[in-house]
Structure 1
Amino acid sequence: MSIFIKNGVLHVSGAQNKLRGKGQELPSFLPDYTMLDIETTGLSPYRDHVTELGGVKVRNNEIVAQYSNLVTYPGSNKVPAFITKLNGITEQQLLDEGVPVRQAMPEFRDFIGDDVIIGYNVNFDLNFLYDLTKKFKLDELNNDYVDVLRLARVYYPRQRNRLLDCIQRAGIAQIEQHHGLADSIDTKKVYDDFREHFTAELLQQAKDKVKNLDLLADELESWQLGFRNPINNKKIVFAGNLGMAHEEAMQLVNNLGGQAQTEVTPDTDYLIMGDHDFFDKNNAARLKAEEFNHAGSKIKRWSEKFFLNMLDEWARS
């Protein structure tokens, strides 16, 4: 049994099927790829949904095809006010101009094909798109990818690195459009600018930032944990039937700077439950957490699947 990160991808014995089977990050400069960007109603692929799909297909560094569609759903198409303020997309616009997601997603999956995917903070986009390909039983979105944000963090160290910051520094534009196709084109321009100015040393630094860690060997150093580690300083309890070994799950937490607890207490941060146990309203650990929460605690209850995918996001960051 083992839990480790290889080339930025989390591997968990006994529970690998709970993780999104996304591809591997490949910091590099490629002549052929699909650049993509999506707009959504929020940050969580579990709660929110895609409102716009956009992308460009690139061959020999030149755009040869484009894809752009607003997306609608059979149920609610409400758009939060803060999202409309950000990108101008409204519920009425989706209803007037949008394409049903059942039609749009197969088209977009076909547009991507087997290409390496490139994007800015692209794991955000891939999570939504991966789940949609699974929902509609399309070819799994396991394409390898390049994250332009990783390149930006090396090229502009210790600076804020939103897409907006990069396009302004490179003189590409003064504003970010927050629309799939327009942002895909702007990200390609940033990627091309990096291609022109990156040295071999900078590219190697980017490659070295991709994590390779044995998460059960020893307690990790602070520089390995990074500031995005979701377990650091958290008290965590595991309950129910897990895919991963219970003892290894506890060791994982301790090695990542958290504290594995054997039972729920008022100061527990996360209760991680087996995927089937998660829905058991009579589970003893769940009842204890609810009791403490009624008394003022703030214990979050997550399924093993949710927990592992959150950890995979950290592994890929």
Structure 2
Amino acid sequence: MSIIVKNGALHVSGAEDKLRHKGIERPEFLKDYTLLDIETTGLSTYRNRVTEVGGIKVRNNEIVDKYTNLLIYSKSNKVPKFITKLNGITEEKIINEGIPVKEAMHDFREFIGDDVIVGYNVNFDLNFLYDLTKKFKLPELSNDYVDVLRLARVYYPRERHNRLIDCMQRANIAKVEQHRGLDDSIDTKKVYDDFREHFTPALLKRAQGKVKNINLVEDELEPWQIGYRNPINNKKIVFSGNIHMNADEAKKMVSNLGGENQKEVTPYTNYLIMGDHDFFRKDNSDLNKARDLIKTGAKIKRLSESFFLSMLDDWARS
């Protein structure tokens, strides 16, 4: 049994089926790849939708093909006003210009093929796309990937922000970001090429060294290994129900990542981690107690084991 981060990906004995089986991050400069970008209605794969997919296929560092489409859903195509203000995508535009999401995902998955994927903060995009390919029973999106954000953080280590637009402006590529799938894909390639031109072997080695490799259940970890942004740091946590992780190892992991294990739910509990099939049960005492405390103002977040592990995997890949 073990809970480890290997090449930036989380592995949990007994609970591997609850994780997205995405590829691993490969900080390097490729000449052949597919670069992609998506637009969504928000940040959560559980609550929000992909509104647009865009990508470019690159061979010998030249764009040889492009893909872009708005996605139509059967139930709702509403777009929050702040998203429309950001990228101009509206419900009317989706309905008039888009294609059904199943058709778009079939075409886009075929477009990506077996290529290594390149993108900016690309793990965000991969989570949404992975779930859609799984929903429509398409080939699993397990391609390895290059995250240009990783390169940006190494190249600009003293900058507070390293968004795509920041890199574009620093390299005089563009003054504004379009926030559209195809346009941002093309701009990301320009940033990637700028790094290709200016990176030294030492910088690239440093970027590769930033990909995490940690055993989360061994002896106490060093602060530099876990960072202050990990989702467990300073959190009080209760595990309840049918958890697939080994209970002792899960608690050891929480302790190693700067969290605190609690035996029972209290007003100060931050996360109640439930077995996936226990999440809506009415006979779980921890869940019922949490519901009562929430009514009185407690800020307890009830998370399924799958959601909790997804949070950890996102941190592992960051």
TM range (shorter): over 0.9
Q: Read off the aligned partner of 1:95 and give its amino acid letter.
A: I
Within 5 A, what are the aligned runs for 1:111-260?
111-159=111-159, 160-260=161-261
CA distance in 2, matches of 1:196, 1:235: 46
Deviation, structure 1 residue 162:
0.3
CA distance in 2, matches of 1:231, 1:3: 14
Which residue of structure 2 lines up, in the alignment, with residue 293 of structure 1?
Answer: 294
Q: Read off the aligned partner of 2:301 and give its amino acid letter.
A: K
Q: Read off the aligned partner of 2:2 and give its amino acid letter.
A: S
Deviation, structure 1 residue 193:
0.5
Which residue of structure 1 lines up, in the alignment, with residue 56 of structure 2?
Answer: 56
Q: Read off the aligned partner of 1:315 and give its amino acid letter.
A: A
Deviation, structure 1 residue 190:
0.4
The alignment partner of 1:34 has SS state of strand
CA distance in 1, matches of 2:158, 2:48: 31
Which residue of structure 2 lines up, in the alignment, with residue 87 of structure 1?
Answer: 87
CA distance in 2, matches of 1:235, 1:188: 42
Deviation, structure 1 residue 228:
2.0
Q: Do residues 6 (structure 1) and 3 (structure 2) align?
A: no
Q: Read off the aligned partner of 1:42 and give its amino acid letter.
A: G
Within 5 A, what are the aligned runs for 1:238-317?
238-317=239-318
The alignment partner of 1:251 has SS state of helix
Q: Percent identity?
A: 71
Q: Per-residue CA shift, 1:47-69, capped at 9, x if unaligned?
A: 00000010000000000000011
The alignment partner of 2:279 has SS state of helix
Q: Read off the aligned partner of 1:218 and give its amino acid letter.
A: D
Q: Per-residue CA shift, 1:191-231, capped at 9, x if unaligned?
A: 00000100000000000000000100122222112232010
Structure 1 alignment gaps of length 5 or more: none
Which residue of structure 2 lines up, in the alignment, with residue 15 of structure 1?
Answer: 15
The alignment partner of 1:277 has SS state of coil
CA distance in 2, matches of 1:153, 1:91: 35
The alignment partner of 2:230 has SS state of coil
Q: Give the TM-score, by structure 1 length.
A: 0.99
Which residue of structure 1 lines up, in the alignment, with residue 75 of structure 2?
Answer: 75
Q: Read off the aligned partner of 2:50 and give its amino acid letter.
A: V
CA contact (8 A) 1:220 1:257 kept: no
CA distance in 1, matches of 2:49, 2:313: 21
User: How many residue pairs are counted as aligned between the two chains?
Assistant: 317
CA distance in 1, matches of 2:229, 2:143: 24
Q: Do residues 101 (structure 1) and 120 (structure 2) align?
A: no
CA distance in 2, matches of 1:239, 1:227: 26
CA distance in 1, matches of 2:227, 2:93: 41
CA distance in 1, matches of 2:154, 2:244: 37
CA distance in 2, matches of 1:125, 1:138: 17
CA contact (8 A) 1:120 1:148 kept: yes
Q: Read off the aligned partner of 2:133 and give its amino acid letter.
A: T
Q: Read off the aligned partner of 2:17 and give its amino acid letter.
A: N
Q: After TM superposition, which residue ranges in structure 1, 4 or more long, deviate above 3 angstroms?
A: none
CA distance in 1, matches of 2:315, 2:173: 30
The alignment partner of 1:236 has SS state of strand
Q: Read off the aligned partner of 1:225 and give its amino acid letter.
A: I
CA distance in 1, matches of 2:103, 2:235: 42
The alignment partner of 2:283 has SS state of coil
Deviation, structure 1 residue 158:
2.2
Q: Per-residue CA shift, 1:81-107, capped at 9, x if unaligned?
A: 110011011111111111110110000
